[in-house]
């Protein structure tokens, strides 16, 4: 079964590059920052399962999930 998801984008609007395909600690951390629990390295970029379009940009994800009131 195909799981929906997205490639998250960093502060520069680029996908996160990764070198270790499949299980990837860096990608898992990236996906947590973007508000989802799991992700992995696919085609040399981090892919996050169940990542919604609204949270693809790290700026949007930070606004949606950070508890810090700065910028609100």
Q: Go through the domains of the chain in sequence order and give each one's CATH number.
A: 5-56 (3.30.30.10)
The kind and range of the H/E element at 28 are helix 25-33
Q: Which positions of the chain have pLDDT values less than 50? A: 72
| Total residues belonging to the chain | 72
Q: Are 48 and 31 in contact (CB under 8 A)?
A: yes
The reported pLDDT for the residue numbered 64 is 81
The reported pLDDT for the residue numbered 70 is 54
Q: State the alpha helices, DSSP H only, in 1-72.
A: 25-33, 58-65
The reported pLDDT for the residue numbered 72 is 44
Cα 3 to its chain centre, rounded Å, is 15
């Amino acid at each position: 079964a195909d799981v929906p998801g997205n490639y998250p984008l960093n502060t520069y609007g680029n996908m996160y590059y990764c070198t270790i395909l499949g299980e990837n600690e860096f990608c898992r951390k990236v996906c947590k920052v973007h508000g989802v629990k799991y992700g992995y390295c696919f085609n040399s970029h981090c892919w996050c399962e169940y990542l919604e379009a609204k949270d693809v940009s790290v700026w949007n994800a930070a606004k949606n999930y950070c508890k810090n009131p700065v910028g609100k």
